[in-house]
Structure 1
């Protein structure tokens, strides 16, 4: 048995639980660091006298850094190892979020946010790729979805901490809190293993043996280290995404991710402001951020289990539709609790949907191009996160009725739904025929 098959067929062990814990913690702090900007916009506008367009531009500049980081660190993960990239990017976004709290003006603040954005972009795809290598195949989709709930937990923390600190202490302390994750980096260095793909490629078999023994002692003696992956015969994993059987699906994943990131970053950046405009108080508006994240967590946990039974498309396509309808209706709601209910559904249909989409992409592509698929999909999706903050800022400057702003955002959900409809399940890695083909290839290579 080769090492990749060993981890795919392994049972869930303390090794997996510890790895999931630390990756969850990283994404929790990332979620906090990303979302706290939206909570502080009203205070930054007051402190520095900036307009909605400038506030939206700062959000867009940050996500330009995020998109750049997704591409840059995706390309270098194979050279330097995914563990090293995860630690580096965590260090970047933690340090520069903390430094944002010391910024004396909007220019320095923006520079800090852009550099933090490099970290935001680099960490997500590498975490998804790393855990997809070590997670047992039976639980892979659920584990990836759960880890990405860490982002939602952190974003929810941004709401509660914002409510507690912003009125009395101003915006600076909420950014300083983002630096707490720096204290955990030594523990992460010890607990997070290097990418299995990287270790195989660089023939670091002793490291693989150490990791395997954490899952099943002495099992490494039965492993076949002569296994050579097809990826090494290919000139570029990215070009493999555009072969005849993957080309359309790859473009549809990219488009769907682009649409989902428009939804996410429109709300991450502007939800408190949009709800203030709709007539709610600051406290209620910040609570909407928490409800959004609760919806994403509950939606991810419940729906990822349903996905195991009925498949990704049968869950995610209707979920886009739920998001579009909820965004339309919330603009017309005048009842606070009904508005909370719609925001809850929107959370499941935006951040929650993206959590499950990451698992979909990881499950769809074979291991040799999985990292390239995740990295490129999220990098293209980040273009949506660049567009979203300025797009909503433009809507706000037009002084439209609140319901029209939400409808304009919800259009992205319709296009995301259409894109996923054209994803071709026939060539997915989780299909039995494909698995059989892969096993035959491994046997031939071993011989």
Structure 2
């Protein structure tokens, strides 16, 4: 009983100390002068001049070549600093779980196997303290994704400075998430099971169940609907092309089977999520225009015959073959904690072969393309949303990624979190004694 009460007190304390009030709409034109601009599409502009107007980027120039009248604008002089487009984290449960061991704060999955109608957006907590903690590292947008079941549900894209989920929404119900059956299985060591990897005897049966579900969905939409079926209604976007199918699968056979399954069922817009062995089937991925949300970079090889640094260089192996790749942080129960480290995973990819600006694309323009929001986000280009930040140094290096300003749709947001407050408090502890 005491443990339950302590959990309730902890949860209430988090609710009472809410996220900072969302920033007000941009009311004055802003000029960012003198920074090195990392456009996000692979190019860099030294000594840049960037104008923000009405929540959008109205101009991006080389400050040495173009002179503009900045009268009446708020001028931010940032010589020797760097400007980046806001980072985007796909396949995330940010805002769906607050405290892993407080059940009342967990809302990342529903019971049941077939849940395409479950919408993560309406469960998104815009005042999450964990969401707030990602912003000081430049992560300003995310794809909020449900978990569990064979079909987990429908994700949506949000920006990370809002009063509620309605205000946060950037792209509503962008895709459905499917957990592909595993080709292999092992017992649970906690229950005394055999932990050796072996073939999944039920794999063919599970794929057939999935195929039957897709076929039943198609029949439902073709026939006269005497009774509403919410899960089947949610599937309609896959067949019309308005939604993407995000297939969570890691091994080579599973990826091949998943792509063939999609082709056989006329599902044209698919994305592989995880893709540990995607580097083995780059030709198939490229030929079918399939992009990859690559697994957690700071992880270990999954078999004894793999290179020790495979997770670090996997992005390069795919990019070199022309596959569209973005990074995500899904890794068991630590994905929300690790979300703030997204830029440093891109930094590791740069250390293991990718050009720095190519690595930057893994968390800016590439995820924007995969999520189909690149018309507004993902790069510093005229006409796009003024969602960007200014860093004292290299944003892919944890030693130098120190933000001084951040903007979402032209609104200058707070970079304070409960963590920065504690840092300031305890950094003065010994100075005051």
TM-score tier after normalising by the smaller chain length: under 0.3
Give the number of the structure whose alpha-carbon radius of gyration is greater: 2
TM-score scaled by structure 1? 0.24
Q: Which has the higher helix share?
A: 1
Higher relative contact order (CA 8 A, sep 6+): 1
TM-score scaled by structure 2? 0.24
